[in-house]
């Protein structure tokens, strides 16, 4: 096995709890179009596959419809003006980023289905752009998670073999994308997705909290180093 040289994080539900801002932005768009606002619990169930899919599900419209285009623009305009009004770090996330950044030869990246416009303003507001070697956001390629292409694209950008990448997320999209890309997957409880769906996806490791991640990465690096260290030849006895 290759030692982990890069950790790629999902964003919403993994590093940040952004439910409040997503709900506010979507309901703003719905109300502007003369539709009714939706309960937060319902909207959260639609999150994970990008803004267009979110809006399609919330409005019960085909993704290719003109009204989804209009709602999407309203959503993104409001979201980019209010990126972190209600957004909070997931428990321990800043410390986890610090710990991983301190590991030698470790690259960090983001892989999210969140629209690029929204991703950029959120990361800028959080002030973590300088920690990241690369970022993939919704719309950067025709494919999105659970396709392996976003993660393979990031591996190429970082110059890291796919087998040396660990994908960390809270949803089945993250686990499936990693599996199909030939990468390790770590799922974290307590995000936006139900635990049953996360377990059914079959991650390599399931963590109760993100704060456990540095220890897992450290173990993988140490174990791989021991496995690949050549043994000294036995001494030749006279």
User: Looking at residue 181, which CATH number applies to its domain?
Assistant: 3.40.50.1000
Does residue 232 sit within a domain? no
Shared-domain flag, residues 38 and 109: no
- Report the DSSP beta bridge partners of residue 136: 111
Q: How far is CA 64 from the centre of its chain?
A: 25
Question: What end-to-end distance do the CA atoms of the chain give, in Å?
Answer: 38
Does residue 231 sit within a domain? no
**Model pLDDT, residue 71:** 98
Does residue 191 sit within a domain? yes
The domain total for the chain is 2
Tokens of 185: 């997957």
CA angle 176, 73, 126 (to 5 degrees): 60
CA angle 128, 102, 112 (to 5 degrees): 40
Cα separation, 227 vs 233, in Å, equals 16
**Model pLDDT, residue 115:** 96
Residue 153 dihedral angles phi and psi, to the nearest 5°: -60, -45
Tokens of 162: 């796919």
**Model pLDDT, residue 226:** 56
Does residue 238 sit within a domain? no
Structural domain harbouring 64: 19-81
For residue 146, the SS3 value is coil
Shared-domain flag, residues 70 and 117: no
Contact of 68 with 30, CB cutoff 8 Å: no
Sequence-ordered strand ranges (E) for 28-176: 88-89, 107-115, 134-138, 165-169
**Cα distances (angstroms) measured from residue 116 to each of 113, 124, 126, 132, 140:** 8, 12, 15, 15, 7
Average pLDDT, consecutive stretches of 10 residues, N- to C-terminus, the chain (238 residues): 94 97 98 98 95 97 97 98 97 96 97 97 94 96 97 98 98 98 97 93 97 97 62 40
**Model pLDDT, residue 181:** 98
**Could you list the active site residues?**
10
Shared-domain flag, residues 122 and 11: yes
Cα separation, 190 vs 13, in Å, equals 8
Does residue 209 sit within a domain? yes
CA angle 95, 166, 171 (to 5 degrees): 85
Of 38, 68, 41, 49, nearest to 10 (Cα)?
49
**Model pLDDT, residue 55:** 97
Does residue 234 sit within a domain? no
Q: Give Dmax over CA atoms of the chain in angstroms.
A: 92
**Model pLDDT, residue 16:** 98
Shared-domain flag, residues 10 and 96: yes
């Amino acid at each position: 096995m290759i030692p982990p040289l890069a950790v790629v994080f999902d964003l919403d539900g993994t590093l940040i709890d952004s439910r409040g801002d997503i709900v506010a932005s979507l309901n703003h768009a719905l109300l502007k179009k003369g539709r009714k606002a939706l309960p937060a619990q319902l909207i959260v169930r639609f999150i994970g596959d990008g803004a267009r899919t979110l809006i399609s599900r919330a409005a019960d419209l085909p993704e290719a419809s003109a009204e989804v285009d209009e709602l999407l623009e309203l959503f993104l305009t409001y979201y980019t003006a209010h990126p972190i009004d209600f957004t909070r770090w997931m428990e321990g996330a800043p410390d986890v980023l610090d710990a991983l950044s301190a590991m030698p030869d470790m690259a960090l990246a983001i892989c999210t289905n969140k629209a690029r416009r929204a991703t950029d303003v959120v990361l800028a507001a959080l002030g973590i752009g300088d920690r990241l070697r690369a970022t993939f956001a919704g719309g950067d390629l025709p494919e999105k998670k659970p396709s392996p292409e976003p993660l393979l694209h990031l591996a190429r950008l970082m110059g890291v073999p796919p087998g040396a990448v660990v994908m960390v997320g809270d949803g089945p999209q993250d686990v499936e994308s990693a599996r199909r890309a030939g990468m390790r997957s770590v799922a974290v409880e307590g995000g936006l997705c139900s635990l049953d769906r996360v377990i059914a996806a079959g991650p390599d490791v399931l963590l109760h909290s993100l704060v456990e991640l540095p220890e897992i990465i450290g173990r993988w690096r140490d174990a791989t180093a021991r496995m690949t260290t050549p043994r000294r030849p036995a001494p030749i006895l006279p």
